[in-house]
Amino acid sequence: MERRSADKRRKRKKKKRNGWWIGLLILILLAGGAYLLRKPLTALAFDWFISPTLESKLQQSYQPREGGNMPAPEPVVYQDKPFSVLLLGSDKRPYEKTRGRSDTIMFAAVRPKESRVLLISVPRDTYVQVIGRDADHDGADDYDKLTHAFAYGGEEMSINTVENFLDHDIDYYATINFQAIQDVVNAVGGVSLPIVEDMENKNPAHVKFKIEGGKPVYNGEEAMYYVRYREDSDFNRTKRQQIFLNALADKVLTINGITQIPELLDIMGQNFQTDMQPSFIVDLGKQVLTQSKPQISSFTIMGEGLKINGTYYDQADEEDLEYAQSLIENWMDPNTTSATLMLPDRQEIE
């Protein structure tokens, strides 16, 4: 009797051990399967949680260019041809009735097939020919700061001016008002920024603020001040804008960040405008999520100070300008391969 009881106990223990091992094996298989299928699962999450509302949310931001010169993009599930986007950051304040100026000007060459983006930054005070602005009555020419093209003629004049300056066509534009940055960054839980030492605006003509260095995460207000700090150089300011965009992209390209995209579009509201059709953006977004993490390369066209009639400008370095043009030509060529893709010789995002 005792022997039979002992046998039953051993069988129960063996069965319990087998159940434990089977459970562990199932967990390993599930975890391994989830890892192997992480891209399809991400695409599924995109279809379930984002696609149903994303396209309708984007309708509020869709603003075709004036004149309707650009053909509507064809909704294609998989994008393989390079395209360009002019990224504009407006400094318009809530109380201002004018459109403000473009505080950030970046030419983005996007290669969706390789998940690569090239950002060519042009400092806002660069001395350029503003295309579409007539000379005034006293005979002055139409050269001015690049930032003023947006103030004079919005996205259309900015596009024409940058196309002339970089000698390359621009397919689309995207404009965001800096006032939306605070809420967007706060909505994703802040961003990591490489601020080693305190940053403080001391010039009485500038907005007064101080950002503490060495923090692991920075909130929306601090992030906005980071990209708008202007008491070192225009070049460093442009570099900070590139770093911020990279940090924000890192935060959004997570599962939690992805599911927040419709909410972020609500937050941006009328502060974000683009002429890329909603269906085009949705298809592109899904493609990005199912490929490798986008790699961002960047280059800033540097310049030297120039004073004309008491006004300071940046005179673009000719070698930098020619090099930026060659980078764009290479990245926008659909025949360029990963092996022949030119990488900036002066990288500004680590």
Q: How many CB atoms lie within 10 A of CB 291?
A: 13
Q: Which of 182, 191, 184 minimizes the C-alpha distance to 209?
A: 182
Looking at the chain, how many residues does it have?
A: 350
The pLDDT of residue 74 is 53
Residue 345 lies in a domain: no
The pLDDT of residue 348 is 47
The pLDDT of residue 17 is 52
pTM (predicted TM-score): 0.74
Do 155 and 241 fall within a single domain?
yes
Rounded Cα distance, 7 and 3, in Å: 6
Please state the φ and ψ torsions of residue 48, each to the nearest 5 degrees: -75, -45
Do 91 and 15 fall within a single domain?
no
Q: Does pLDDT of 33 surpass 50?
A: no
Q: Does pLDDT of 68 surpass 60?
A: no
Residue 341 lies in a domain: no
Q: What percent of the chain has pLDDT over 90?
A: 26
Q: Does pLDDT of 201 surpass 50?
A: yes
Do 19 and 54 fall within a single domain?
no
Do 184 and 272 fall within a single domain?
yes
Q: Does pLDDT of 138 surpass 80?
A: no
Residue 322 pLDDT grade (very low, low, confident, very high; cuts 50, 70, 90): very high
Residue 327 lies in a domain: yes
Total domain count, the chain:
2
The pLDDT of residue 152 is 87
Q: Does pLDDT of 100 surpass 80?
A: no
Q: Which domain holds residue 23?
A: 1-36
Compare 163 and 249 and report the one with higher pLDDT: 163
Residue 347 lies in a domain: no
Q: Does pLDDT of 163 surpass 50?
A: yes
Residue 29 lies in a domain: yes
Residue 268 pLDDT grade (very low, low, confident, very high; cuts 50, 70, 90): confident
Q: Does pLDDT of 340 surpass 90?
A: yes
Q: Does pLDDT of 16 surpass 70?
A: no
Integer angstrom CA distances of residue 301 from 106, 189, 243, 322, 346: 10, 32, 16, 9, 10
Do 207 and 283 fall within a single domain?
yes
Question: Which token pair is 206?
Answer: 């500038």
Rounded mean pLDDT of the chain? Answer: 77
The pLDDT of residue 349 is 42
Q: Does pLDDT of 240 surpass 90?
A: no
Q: Does pLDDT of 288 surpass 80?
A: no
Do 14 and 48 fall within a single domain?
no
Least confident of 243-247, 268-272, 338-342: 268-272
Q: Does pLDDT of 189 surpass 80?
A: yes
Do 55 and 22 fall within a single domain?
no
The pLDDT of residue 239 is 81
Span 289-318, average pLDDT: 84
199: domain CATH number? Answer: 3.40.630.190
Residue 176 lies in a domain: yes
Do 230 and 278 fall within a single domain?
yes
Q: Does pLDDT of 103 surpass 70?
A: yes
Do 77 and 165 fall within a single domain?
yes
State whether residue 66 is helix, strand or coil. Answer: coil
Do 189 and 148 fall within a single domain?
yes
CB-based contacts of 280, cutoff 8 Å, min separation 6: 73, 74, 75, 76
Residue 311 lies in a domain: yes
The pLDDT of residue 128 is 94
Residue 183 lies in a domain: yes
Do 140 and 219 fall within a single domain?
yes
Do 30 and 97 fall within a single domain?
no
